[in-house]
Chain A
Amino acid sequence: MKKENHNQVALEVHDLTVAYHTRPVLWNIDFEIPPGKLVAIVGPNGAGKSTLLKSILGLLPLSSGWVKIFDNPYRKVRQKVGYVPQRGSVDWDFPTTAIDVVCMGRYGKIGWFRRPKKEDWEAAEKFLAQVEMEKFAHRQISQLSGGQQQRVFLARALAQEADIYFMDEPFAGVDAVTEKAIVRLLEELREQKKTVIVVHHDLQTVKEYFDWILLLNMRLIANGPTEEVYNEDNLRKTYGGRLAILSQAADEVAKGRL
């Protein structure tokens, strides 16, 4: 029964609307994503890409709509979900080491009050090695380069041993070595039939790296296999000026609600 659902749809978002304070950021988002795909969420700045990710993960309150992951509400399938937040969202001068950060990926499985055990540390080491960072395991995290920090974050998500991964701008501001490492990692995850949903900025590489694209600009513009969705018409709709109207509408709604 469960298996069948896996085969049909990994992520279903239904009529999702999200507002920051009073300003709507996402309007009536509706889409489904089949399992085993590498998915890019693409759109201009302020399109609500990160917001979409955070609301799927229950980190933001929804104004309306619902989200299902493997046909279940998020809180029932947490153990199957991995998350890579934006690198800039934490203080990298925090007194901790790379391996310790990776070990945090195990905390969900470990549960309240209990401490990480030997096998958790071993797993953390293994996943650090998978992103080629084993040499830096005991480095303080502020002594790592931006790309290395990003790889630590990826290893932490791997340590969650999930079936579906959400990654917020993993390619932002990383060096060429890290970019290659991430691409290789994404391909490995695809081979393991995992679903990976990535907020992505770079239109140049999106066709090359991803087999499914979701175009977003406050509204859903298009959602589907790369070869069907990636065309001039859709890109113009996503990045074009037509949406200025939507942005102005949001402003006026915000004022109206004050």
Chain B
Amino acid sequence: MDWKNEILLFFTNEGMNRRMVLIGSILLGCASGIIGTFALLRRQSLLGDAMAHAALPGVCLMFLITGLKDPFLFLIGACISGFTGALCVIGITRYSRLKNDTAIGLVLSVFFGVGIVLLTYIQQSGAGNQAGLNTFLFGKAASLLQEDVRVMVTMCGLIIFFIVLFYKEFKILSFDPNFGASLGFSIKFLDVFLTSLVVLTVMVGLQAVGVVLMVAMIIIPPAAARQWTEKLERMIIISAFIGALSGALGAILSTLIIKMPTGPVMVLVAAFFLGLSLFFAPNRGLLFSWYRRWSQKRKTRIENILKAIYKVGENSQNYERFIPLNEIKGYFSAPLWLLRLRLRILHLTALVEYHPQEVRLTSVGFEQAKNTVRKHRLWEAYLSNAMDIPHDHVHRDAEEVEHIFSPELTSRLEEYLDSPEHDPHGKSIPNVNGNNCNS
């Protein structure tokens, strides 16, 4: 198998270069995941995108001026034009009436346009060995040379070092800069410094990921990480991990598939993790909130059945007798077979005793039904006594809250209303001590 050999190559002597590429990609993913966390929290992600695009003319100009393909020179050229782009964004926002997002869009597209013009010019002029410049568009990790990787490793190492060193300062800068300033931290310095680190990360990643998609590496991993945690430290670690994994898989996959640029592959891998996080993360994940909604619905359905049985019992003042299904089916819009199925399930969970044609509440089911009715009628009483809402307006509200209110709120309501015996419709309100039941 061909791909097996390809992968094995990463671990043999001949694969030295591949290993370097892999290490570079992992470190890059790691650094962009870390720095991206701060960029995301400070809403600077799009500024990073503008600066990545703005770097392209700098790279081209550097090549035109020196005629060399030195990664370090490229980095310098990229940084200069990237920073110029950032200054333009700040300047446009401050001195014109254009808003920040407009300024970002302007700088991004104009600089990128200039870059593409220069790139095309270089290719058509056939100046020396120009082929490598193309990789700056969509990135090619496999094209990285040892020197490229060495620059990347140094830069990523520096970035991670500074984040660890300034962790506390960057946290307060991101959360509450005014308070930080009042404590005596130089917020202007920290702001410029952290923004520079964002720029630097973007620039270091250009050759591997490309100007077009580099920003995804600082947006997607932290966005995915945010789903899993409520703590900054953990968010940074998870984000770094997802970034590193995307970097590694992106680099490996793009070398396996011939002529596939690295940037898009890395982004797709990262997006896959983002998808997983959006669905499966606890609390913030979609699946979790679906489950929560579903179990609330289920609770509502169960309590409505128990309540119906309770009410029939209440009408005849006998909660003990078996009630024929005919007497409760009027309470539901669902077909009879479904009602039977649900009753059978309630039977299994010991909330009711159900025989084919008749049903009654068990003591557990009775308590739950009583509680539901109690919440319903207390709320009706509260709305009409304390809020002066007409009697005929309170029922629908109570239908909803009877499945939601906590025991604590319920007893507070009862206390506030001074343990009322009847709701506005004259029905008796069951209380916890069970005065109203004959069991």
List residues of A whose CB falls within 8 A of some B CB: 54, 57-59, 75, 78, 81, 83, 85, 89-91, 94-97, 100-101, 104, 107-108, 110, 112-116, 140, 156, 160
Measured in the bound complex, the distance between the Cα atoms of B183 and A156 in whole Å is 12
Measured in the bound complex, the distance between the Cα atoms of B232 and A85 in whole Å is 22
CB pair B179 A85 closer than 8 Å: yes
| CB nearest to A89 among chain B residues | B178
CB pair A95 B232 closer than 8 Å: yes
| CB nearest to A104 among chain B residues | B172
**Contacting B176 at CB < 8 Å: which of A78, A90, A112, A140?**
A90
CB pair B184 A78 closer than 8 Å: yes
CB pair B168 A140 closer than 8 Å: no
Which residues on A sit within 8 Å (CB–CB) of B182?
A: 57-59, 78, 81, 83
CB pair A83 B235 closer than 8 Å: no
Determine how close the nearest CB of chain A comes to the CB of B234; give it in whole angstroms.
Answer: 8
Name B152-171 residues within 8 Å CB distance of A: 165-169, 171
CB pair B181 A94 closer than 8 Å: no
**Contacting A85 at CB < 8 Å: which of B165, B171, B178?**
B178
User: Is B253 interfacial (CB 8 A cutoff)?
Assistant: no
CB pair A110 B184 closer than 8 Å: no
Known: A78-B183, A97-B231. Is A107-B172 also a contact (CB below 8 A)?
A: yes
| CB nearest to B187 among chain A residues | A59
Which residues on B sit within 8 Å (CB–CB) of A59?
A: 178, 181-182
Which residues on B sit within 8 Å (CB–CB) of A96?
A: 171, 175, 230-232
Which residues on A sit within 8 Å (CB–CB) of B235?
A: 95
What 5 A-B pairs are tightest by C-beta distance, nearest first?
A: A108-B183, A140-B230, A83-B182, A78-B184, A90-B176
**Contacting A113 at CB < 8 Å: which of B165, B174, B234?**
B165
Determine how close the nearest CB of chain A comes to the CB of B55; give it in whole angstroms.
Answer: 29
Name B37-94 residues within 8 Å CB distance of A: 41
**Contacting B175 at CB < 8 Å: which of A104, A116, A140?**
A104
Which residues on B sit within 8 Å (CB–CB) of A58?
A: 181-182
User: Is B226 interfacial (CB 8 A cutoff)?
Assistant: yes
Measured in the bound complex, the distance between the Cα atoms of B167 and A54 in whole Å is 26
* B221-235 interface bits toward A, Cβ cutoff 8 Å, 1 = contact, 0 = none: 000001001111011
Measured in the bound complex, the distance between the Cα atoms of B364 and A9 in whole Å is 69
**Contacting B230 at CB < 8 Å: which of A95, A101, A115?**
A95
CB pair B168 A94 closer than 8 Å: no
Measured in the bound complex, the distance between the Cα atoms of B41 and A90 in whole Å is 11
CB pair A83 B179 closer than 8 Å: yes
Measured in the bound complex, the distance between the Cα atoms of B233 and A95 in whole Å is 9
Which residues on B sit within 8 Å (CB–CB) of A115?
A: 167-168
* B199-236 interface bits toward A, Cβ cutoff 8 Å, 1 = contact, 0 = none: 00000000000000000000000000010011110110
Which residues on B sit within 8 Å (CB–CB) of A94?
A: 41, 174-175, 232
Which residues on A sit within 8 Å (CB–CB) of B285?
A: none
CB pair A108 B184 closer than 8 Å: yes
Determine how close the nearest CB of chain B comes to the CB of A92; give it in whole angstroms.
Answer: 10
